[in-house]
Amino acid sequence: MDITDRKLLNLIQSPFPMVDQPFQKLGEEVGISEQEVLDRLTELKRTNVLRQISAIFDTRRLGFKTTLVAMAYEPKQLHKAAMEINKHPGVSHNYAREGSYYNLWFTLAVPPEHDLEATAAYMSLKTGAIEQRIMPTKRFFKIGVNFDMVKKKGSSFNFSPDNVKSSEDKAASDKEAAESWNKAVPITEAEKDAIRGMQEDLELIPRPYDSIAQQLGMSTDELFALAKDFQ
């Protein structure tokens, strides 16, 4: 990777441009053409530096329940079990910890109508785990991390909505955030469809949002308006 690749990786982490031609916008900021942006991102994906470009939603605000799950497997079963666990749509951040009793750790999210403990127990049984332990999220302290690919360091941000308020206002808003971070907000069926569409890997084409909007039966401007409301 050269410095231009690193600058691009910084820019696409957040906030990603919600405009008709987002890759042209990125190119203007870096000083290269739209096509070069597309070519560079394609290569970064080919080499597994970049996994995907998509919207990230707060599962708790959508009514999902989340937990960290630790499972213990015989070493020879670990890889096969991990591949099976990965098939579940609510699984992310699945890591092996070889040498530990609990040697597979992953996060699990399930929709409101599903039981978190029952889901984890079923997965444990299906994959032949020796033992499993769930650690449901009780309080959230950090909701994101950005990696500065130019300076080669990371920075995180937490759920506090504002870091520049007076101490009294900040204390009140922190209390409100702490009490409401896992409260679901009502969403319509159309919004659910939009969320599904925006979670898909963004196509590396000049106007990627057009096809998403078309699949949802709305205009691109309507899609942008929904995305803004979600933020």
> Do 166 and 157 contact (CB within 8 A), yes or no?
no
The DSSP call for residue 65 is E
Domains of the chain: 3-56+186-230 (1.10.10.2890), 65-136 (3.30.70.3460), 144-180 (no CATH)
Structure tokens at 189: 């069926």
Q: Cα–Cα distance between 4 and 32 in angstroms, integer?
A: 9
Residue type, 176: E
Residues 135, 120: Cα–Cα separation, whole Å: 11
Lowest mean pLDDT among 38-42, 54-58, 156-160, 222-226: 156-160
CA 171 to chain centre: 28
| pLDDT of amino acid 58 | 72
- The pair of structure tokens assigned to 115 is 């039981």
Q: Which two tokens stand for residue 188?
A: 């319509």
Question: How much is the pTM?
Answer: 0.66
pLDDT band at 156 (very low <50, low <70, confident <90, very high): very low
Q: Which token pair is 50?
A: 């970049």
pLDDT exceeds cutoff 60 at 47: yes
Please, what is the end-to-end C-alpha distance for the chain in angstroms?
A: 31
Of the pLDDT bands very low, low, confident and very high (cuts 50, 70, 90), residue 123 is very high
Averaged pLDDT for residues 177-193: 68
229 confidence band (pLDDT: 50, 70, 90): confident
E strand or H helix that includes residue 88: none
Tokens coding 53: 């470009």
